Amino acid sequence: MKNVLILCTGNSCRSIMGEALINAKMGECVFAQSSGVKASGTVNPHAKALLEEKGYWRDSYHSKVIDTVINTPFDLVVTVCDHAHETCPMFPKAVKTIHVAFEDPSGKEIEEYAKTLDLIEATLLPIIQAELCG
């Protein structure tokens, strides 16, 4: 089982969506966690509702700061927003880091959350598959 970290700024929407999608769709080869470089401490309610509707939500998902996972031996770190990419911390053990940015749907129409989720699934999951599942 490979470990991947999905890193964003606030860890409230895009990174949580990525974590949930990877765990729901790729759980046979990858375990995903998410974190924020400046975690908000809350999950966006629209993102959570969408993930619940799709059956991807787990009660263990929550917004957390990078310090809570920094010592986890990740096989891959993915930054999903430009700010996280620019401020991604150094990990104690060398780890491959890639950047795949998604626009933040926060504050936009509710349909934008579903579009973002679909885009994350269509774009990020094949990359994770190629990187970690061969």
Catalytic option among 8, 13, 29, 133: 8
13 is catalytic: no
DSSP string covering 65-107, please? BGGGTTTS--SEEEE-SHHHHHHPPPPSS--EEEE------TT
133 is catalytic: no
Separation between Cα atoms, residue 62 and residue 82, nearest integer Å:
21
Of all residues in the chain, what percent are helix, strand and coil, respectively (each to 5)? 40, 15, 40
Catalytic option among 13, 29, 81, 133: 81
Active site positions, annotated = 8, 81, 88
